[in-house]
Chains A and B, each alone.
Chain A
Amino acid sequence: MIEYFVQSASSYAGDIDNLFLLITLIIGFWFILTFGILVYLIIRFRRKDGVKAKYIAGEKHSETKWTHYPHYAVIAMDVVIIAVNILVWVNIKQTLPPRDNLVRVIGQQWSWSFIHAGPDGELDTKDDVSTTNDLHLKLGETYHFELQSRDVLHNFAVPAFRLRQDAVPGRTISGWFKPTKTGTFDLQCAEMCGYGHGIMGAAVTVHSAESYDTTMAQIQNGTYESHYQKRMGTKTDLPSNTSQVDDEVSFAVLLASIF
């Protein structure tokens, strides 16, 4: 269901989407059931002259079973959700699989800096490649990230990767992801970080191996053209003002856009 709105471009995006779907099925069932009963009862027991309401205290077992049995079913489904959720969570946040590559992500008011580990796969060595607002990744490699913040809280969020992690000043937070689709995706700061929070974006580009190497070479010899700038350049005049928004947006179109 999430893929319909956002591409899934990392190895664990599917897990999260499936968990989302599972929960949707479970709570959808409960929601429709409960809502249906609510509406049914309201219609069925509307006031009629001469019909007196029943006197039910809801204290006897024969009465309480109507709320208790569904309630046990809720518990059972809760257990399912918890179990599946913990499996997914342990996989994506709690354990770090062996890494192929490393990147340091630094948030500051209001831009992102990325330090790519370079060919040796270690940070703080001579072959590190630093960029601003442009993260370059190689397809299919398991990345570890070291997340830091220079000032306030930021949040390193890439919706296409289903990745979100707060950057907390004073500590380095590690995590991992594995891009599975080439292309350029939005990187957001998803934690309130002050005046410029609304512009604190960056571009994540997932390359095939050759294209990655060319880009890295370009960055190092100075001929690189920022992907983020390019992306922003083409988008600056999208529905930024009302004149661009179709004046005749019909109600049907609006509804259609929702579903």
Chain B
Amino acid sequence: MSDAYAHPNYVKIWYWLLGLLALSVVGPMLEIPTLTIITAFGIAIVKSYLVAAYFMHLKFEKKLIWFLLILSICLLGVFFFGTAPDLMMTDGDQWIDCIADKSCVEQRL
């Protein structure tokens, strides 16, 4: 069951990953919020691409697998955008803890 593809130079990919890791740690130290988001998550995406494409051999894998993974992430996006309008509207300030509030405990059967 040996697949005929040449192994990429894994150590080189690893150097790239370490470099990106260093960048993502250094980026936030500049304390620019936008830059933090870009370095933190942009680099996470680049890193994950490198790992997926080379270490996981996705680059040499059938398109089917790409389709599968991208579809999963798209569905998560659907979930995010369907849920976001509701969770972003929380008030939270009208809350009374019923267990602490004796008057409504007495109402119980």
Task: Answer yes or no: are A and B bound together in one complex.
Answer: yes
The CA of A89 and the CA of B96, in the complex, are separated in Å by 31
Contact between chains at A170 and B94 (CB < 8 Å): yes
**A148 CB within 8 Å of chain B:** yes
Closest beta carbon of chain A to B103's beta carbon, Å: 9
Residue of A with least CB distance to B91: A171
Interface string of B41-60 (1 = CB under 8 A from A): 00000000000000000000
Contact between chains at B91 and A150 (CB < 8 Å): no
Which B residues lie within 8 Å of A108 (CB)? 98, 104, 107
Contact between chains at B107 and A171 (CB < 8 Å): no
Which B residues lie within 8 Å of A170 (CB)? 90-92, 94-95
Closest beta carbon of chain A to B69's beta carbon, Å: 33
Residue of B with least CB distance to A109: B108
Which B residues lie within 8 Å of A199 (CB)? 109
Closest beta carbon of chain A to B85's beta carbon, Å: 13
Closest beta carbon of chain B to A111's beta carbon, Å: 5
Contact between chains at B89 and A150 (CB < 8 Å): no
Contact between chains at A110 and B92 (CB < 8 Å): no
**A127 CB within 8 Å of chain B:** no
B90, B92, B101, B109: the one contacting A150 at CB < 8 Å is: B101
**A151 CB within 8 Å of chain B:** yes
Contact between chains at B108 and A171 (CB < 8 Å): no
Contact between chains at A109 and B92 (CB < 8 Å): no
Which B residues lie within 8 Å of A150 (CB)? 96, 98, 101, 104
The CA of A151 and the CA of B91, in the complex, are separated in Å by 15
Closest beta carbon of chain B to A213's beta carbon, Å: 29
Q: Name B's A-contacting residues (CB within 8 A).
A: 89-92, 94-96, 98, 101, 104, 107-109
Told that A109-B107, A110-B107, A196-B108 touch, could you supply 15 new A-B pairs with CB distance under 8 A? A108-B98, A108-B107, A109-B108, A110-B109, A111-B107, A150-B101, A150-B104, A169-B95, A170-B90, A170-B92, A171-B90, A171-B92, A171-B94, A172-B91, A196-B109
Q: Name A's B-contacting residues (CB within 8 A).
A: 108-111, 148, 150-151, 169-172, 195-196, 199
Q: Nearest 8 A-B pairs (CB), nearest first?
A: A151-B98, A171-B91, A170-B95, A108-B104, A150-B98, A172-B94, A170-B92, A150-B96
